[in-house]
A and B are shown apart, each in its own frame.
Chain A
Amino acid sequence: MEPVIIGLVLGGLYALLAQSFVLTFITTRTLNFALGEFVALGAFATLAVASWGWLPDVGKVVVGVLVAGVVGAFVHRFLILPFTTQGEHDVRWLLSSVAVSFVLLDLITNVEGPSPQRSDTARVSGTVDLFGTGVSKQQLLLATLAVVISLLLILVTKRTPMGLVMRAVSQDPETASLMGVSPRRVGMGAYAAAMGLAGLAGVLYAATVGASPVMGEPLLVASIAVAIVGGLGSLWGPLLGGALYGVLSQFASYQWGTIWGETAGLLLVIAVLVWKPEGLLGRRTEVKL
């Protein structure tokens, strides 16, 4: 039971980050490979205002979310969008987002130094007992947030015209712009929301492991894996993917050691992609000639 509970809780963190991959993918067909650095960015932005006594913790978290979100919107506008202009085979954005990751990582390291710094903002200490397994409250908070935010996103896209707008922009930006929808603005909005999410995850995660420039890097691969297992086109995908990935990797590392935990998770991705390239909850699109 223990690996299942821990795995589910851990999967929550990955799911939260996977959700930001899904958000950018369903609107712009791009993924931000610099996501790990946005996690660190959010954590450090909150850390920078941690000493402001007049600002409540919620306000400090919001600062982290906003900084990551605003930088994310600009990255999309100036470094992603210009590299998506050559049709669906165009993957220059992928390279530019990797380059952004190098630049941000280097900059954060030079400014803040490589070693982890303690972050107390939004820390909930202690553990709760879940079906006989002790789970840290902080991780439980992350997992709960992942579920709540996913449900909110699904609700918003189902119940408001925003969902339609997002789908329209991703399917055919040109036609969408003829209908008065600006793909550029929707893309920037999606990146702002997605990177804000990454920043949020960063703030909460930093409370457990401390803020460091490389804190997001191990999360990047796992959360991309989760997003792909669930299906990059589905907002439900990260929840399913996170649960599967979390439980499987925990189970494997309990059984055979840490190194197998991650390996098992990544092998899961390969297995899913071979069987269903669009992900478990993704929908297949037929190519028409």
Chain B
Amino acid sequence: MSTIEHEPVTADAGDGPGRHAGRSPSGGEGRRHVRNAIRRDLVFAGLAILIAVVAILPGRSGEGTSISTMQLIASMSAMIVAAVGLNLLVGYTRLVSLGQGGFYALGAYGSAYLALDKGWNPVLAIVGALTFCAVVGAVAAMATMRMRGPQFSVITLILAVLIERILNEGNAFGRLAGYPNFAQHDTTVMKPMTVFGVELLPPMIAGEVATVMVPIVIITAIVVILSRNIARSPWGASLSAIGESEMLASHLGVDVVRRKVAVFVLASVLGGLGGVIAVQAFGHLQPETFDIFLTITIVLAVVFGGSGTILGPVVGAIAIVWLEQSDALNSVSQWQQDTLSDAWFLSSHGLLGVLFILTLFLMPRGIVGSIGRLITARLRAREIDAADASGGLEHTDEELVPTAEPVDTTGALLALTGMSKNFGGLQAVAEMDLVVAPGQVHAIIGPNGAGKSTLANLVTGVYKPSAGTATLAGRDITGQPPHKVVRAGVGRTFQTPQLFHDATVRDNVLAGFPDTGRTPLWSAALKTPGRYRRDAEMRVEADRLMALVGLSDVADLRASELPYGKQRALEIARALAGQPELIVLDEPAAGLIATETAGLGDLLLSLRAQGYAMVVVEHHMDLVSRVADVVTCMDQGRLLARGTAAEVLADERVVAAYLGKPHETGTEGGH
């Protein structure tokens, strides 16, 4: 829908809060948002680069004693890059991939093989290897598209095992002799690459400055900075949405299939880049180091540091690499042998396993996540009390003036013709016609199992209709997937609120903007000036929407901390953020107490006054009578009656459908 472009026009017209009244952030508030955001980002980027540079200072003179430190830093960098990539999959999209080690190996072997055996320019070899990782990642993503949970993990594990076996047993890679090896290449170490006349020496020989460390740490810092940009952008929000529920994500306008492929490819390339860093720093590859243990260690780094946080994988990678390479684990192991038994003890792999289990028990959010929780928990303690005090949808903060423009009700906004849906032998919806005019509230009532929710799901594309057509403002949307229907201008709320429970109320509303589905990856990663402006604009608009549904005072609480009524209000605010023409509300009053239902009625009336058309699937007759222009009663998938609320409720067939036919024993069904 082109409402974004229309926005400034509406705002300039200044006719009070008409519909789509997104105010452009020309005000001081918007500029303050932009300034703050730029300052925060610059500080973060500056710190990241600074830490990276300080980390390699000990190696500036090339003393022999600094070699092991530089190698440690290089291992950490490789692990950080791979873990940051994996975090996008595991932490945000909640696809637990056990295959990151495979991509790490592909990047390492690929870049080495192309440079040494194929004689490519080393930079091209790296690009080639990363491209290969991207292609393998894309294929794997498409193959696993319909999977979640253990199946996805198993497939990615199988992929990593497959790659490891091929590298272990492929003769071109020297098998146990490693790569490169004397028999095939007359050397066991890769030749250092030269870029712009500078030879990038690995940290290996005393007296030589390990120049390769400079690009390694800078690239690592850049990866961290860009991943932060991505995580905090609408693109990142779309990943969390997919992680929460793919159905929800598609109702936020996200093309779930393409986005999942994109994030898998991105994670794969970063996994490969980790491997590239390892080759550049160590110059030699041994196939047995790319075993299952490596791939699990990357997962451990993410979980231990804090999956789904920006700094988590960084902290986790540094900690795990340090543990593995320092004497810490060995001394624990030695201590066990001294004091307990010299047979029944754990060495480093076992101890990492114990650490993994302890992390899951004691810090499921990891180091960074747990610390973050501690800090915010204190800040929020008071606000939660405030939220409990006020009930929910009782009142709206903003006084709403009906729009001055008369609503154009001549053309149909939504038109369903002959809509049918069969589930196996069951006909859930049979030849339903439905017309919703712009600005009209159309309620759908009917006893349980009448097909109301199925009809709502047919409109937003959850189900493909068995027969019939659907048009929105004259455009055919029949059988379109939810993200296309949503982009065409349909908003949606669900029977049970589908929210990001761990995110704040404000972030939930922000996820509703069309940007979640439309921001391109490059713009999210590079964070263009336009992005800053748009972010500020969205924040201002989100504040307005929260005020509209009465959530202003709880904007910074987590969604899960809200009482049920407010969760419903939040869903409506999020739907409004998508700037829809039509909102489909699936039983919005379910689970609300009487005062909340009254508040919901007020809200729906004010939305109607602003020109939103609505389809309301509802049981609450009081609410229906109050807000609906037209009421359709369904029974057994078919149209039973249609008219004003009073007409439909007086209809004998409707009464019979709800209460049972007179000669039957009445089954209580209505409200």
Task: Pick from A99-107, A174-182, A190-198, A244-252 the stretch touching chain B.
Answer: A99-107
A124 lies within 8 A of chain B by Cβ: no
A94 with B150: in contact, given A79-B357, A101-B353, A107-B344 (CB under 8 Å)? yes
Q: In A264-289, which residues have CB < 8 Å from any B CB?
A: 266, 269-270, 273-274, 277, 287, 289
Which parts of B292-338 form the interface with A (CB within 8 Å)? 292-293, 296, 299-300, 303
Q: Is B146 an interface residue (CB 8 A)?
A: yes
A106 and B296 in contact, given A31-B150, A91-B96, A277-B146 (Cβ under 8 angstroms) = no
CA distance A270 to B169 in the complex (A): 21
Contacts of A79 in B (CB 8 A): 357
Bound-complex Cα distance A232 to B299 (A): 24
Q: Is the CB of B143 within 8 A of A274?
A: yes
* A89-B94 contact given A30-B150, A110-B344, A273-B151, CB 8 Å threshold: yes
Using Cβ atoms and an 8 Å threshold, which residues of chain A touch B98?
A: 98
Q: A91-B153, A99-B357, A102-B356 are in contact. Are A270 and B350 (CB under 8 A)?
A: no
For the complex, would chain B's binding face be called helix, strand, loop or mixed by DSSP majority?
Answer: helix
Nearest chain B CB to A222 CB, angstrom units: 10
A105 and B360 contacting across the interface, CB-CB below 8 Å: no
Interface bracket on A: 35 or more
The stretch among B157-165, B435-443, B606-614 that forms the contact with chain A is B157-165
- Given contacts A89-B148, A263-B165, A277-B151, whether A105 and B350 have CB atoms under 8 Å apart is yes
Complex alpha-carbon distance, A108 and B566, angstroms: 54
Residues of B within 8 A of A1 (CB): none
Chain A contact residues, majority secondary structure = helix
Q: Judging by beta carbons under 8 Å apart, are B360 and A83 in contact? A: yes
Check B357 against A269 for contact (C-beta < 8 Å): no
* Complex Cα spacing A225 to B292, Å: 16
Confirm or deny: B80 has a beta carbon within 8 angstroms of a beta carbon on chain A: no
Q: Could you say which residues of chain A place their CB within 8 Å of the CB of B155? A: 269-270, 273
Q: How far is the CA of A98 from the CA of B347 in the complex (A)?
A: 16
Within 8 A of A (CB), among B198-245: 243
Check A98/B149 contact, CB under 8 A, given A107-B344, A110-B346: no
Closest A residue to B152 by CB, please name it. A91
Evaluate contact between A289 and B494: CB separation under 8 angstroms: yes
Partner of B350, one of A31, A103, A225, A273: A103
Type the 1/0 row for A221-246, where 1 means its CB is closer than 8 Å to any CB of B: 10011001000100000000000000
Neighbouring B residues of A232 by C-beta, 8 Å? 150-151
Q: Could you tell me if B147 and A91 are in contact, using CB atoms closer than 8 angstroms?
A: no
A96 in the interface (beta carbon within 8 A): yes
Known: A103-B346, A111-B344, A221-B157. A98 touches B94 (CB 8 A): no
Within 8 Å of chain B (Cβ to Cβ): is A148? no
Interface centre among B162, B293, B343 (most CB of A within 10 A): B162
Q: CA A274 – CA B169 in complex, angstroms?
A: 27
| Distance between Cα atoms of A105 and B161 in the complex (Å) | 18
CA distance A44 to B453 in the complex (A): 58
Contact in complex: A110, B343 (CB < 8 Å): yes
Interface centre among A31, A269, A277 (most CB of B within 10 A): A277
B360 touches A107 (CB 8 A): no
Per the bound structure, the CA–CA distance linking A163 and B551 in Å amounts to 49
Asked, given contacts A91-B149, A107-B350, whether A266 binds B356 with beta carbons under 8 Å apart, the answer is no
CB proximity of B589 to chain A, nearest CB, Å: 18
Q: Which of B121-172 contact A (CB under 8 A)?
A: 142-144, 146-151, 153-155, 157-158, 161-162, 165-166, 169-170
Distance from A173 Cβ to chain B, minimum over Cβ atoms (Å)? 16
Complex: how many Å from CA A277 to CA B144? 8
Q: Which residues of A contact B353 (CB under 8 A)?
A: 98-103, 106
Task: Tell me, rounded to whole Å, the shortest Cβ–Cβ distance linking A212 to chain B.
Answer: 16
- Tell me the residues in window 28-53 of chain A with beta carbons closer than 8 Å to chain B beta carbons: 29-31
Q: Mark B346-366, 1 if CB is under 8 A from A, else 0.
A: 110111111011001100100
Given contacts A91-B96, A98-B296, are A289 and B149 in contact (CB under 8 A)? Answer: no
Confirm or deny: A95 has a beta carbon within 8 angstroms of a beta carbon on chain B.
yes
Please, which residue of chain B has its CB at the minimum distance from the CB of A286? B423
Are A102 and B352 also in contact (CB < 8 A) when A91-B150, A95-B299, A225-B158 are? Answer: yes
Q: How far is the CB of A266 from chain B (nearest CB, A)?
A: 5
A266 and B161 in contact, given A96-B356, A105-B349 (Cβ under 8 angstroms): yes
Check if A273 sits within 8 Å of B143, measured CB to CB. Answer: yes
Minimal Cβ-Cβ distance residue in B for A34 = B353
- Asked if B151 and A289 make an inter-chain contact with CB atoms under 8 angstroms apart, the answer reads no
Q: A83-B360, A89-B148 are in contact. Are A289 and B344 (CB under 8 A)?
A: no
Report how far A94 CA is from B453 CA in the complex, Å.
35
Question: Which of the residues B157, B169, B345 comes within 8 Å of A110, measured between beta carbons?
Answer: B345
- Which 5 A/B pairs are nearest by Cβ-Cβ distance? A106-B350, A102-B353, A99-B356, A103-B353, A99-B353
Supply 18 further A-B pairs (C-beta < 8 A) apart from A102-B350, A228-B154: A79-B357, A88-B149, A89-B243, A92-B360, A98-B296, A98-B356, A102-B293, A106-B347, A110-B345, A110-B346, A110-B347, A111-B343, A232-B151, A266-B158, A266-B162, A273-B144, A287-B247, A289-B453
Where the two chains meet, the residues of A that have a C-beta atom closer than 8 Å to any C-beta of B are: 25, 29-31, 79, 82-83, 88-89, 91-92, 94-96, 98-103, 105-107, 110-111, 217, 221, 224-225, 228, 232, 258-259, 262-263, 266, 269-270, 273-274, 277, 287, 289
A-B contact pairs, 16 of them (CB 8 A): A89-B149, A92-B364, A94-B150, A99-B353, A102-B296, A103-B346, A106-B349, A106-B351, A110-B344, A111-B343, A224-B154, A259-B165, A262-B162, A262-B165, A273-B144, A289-B457
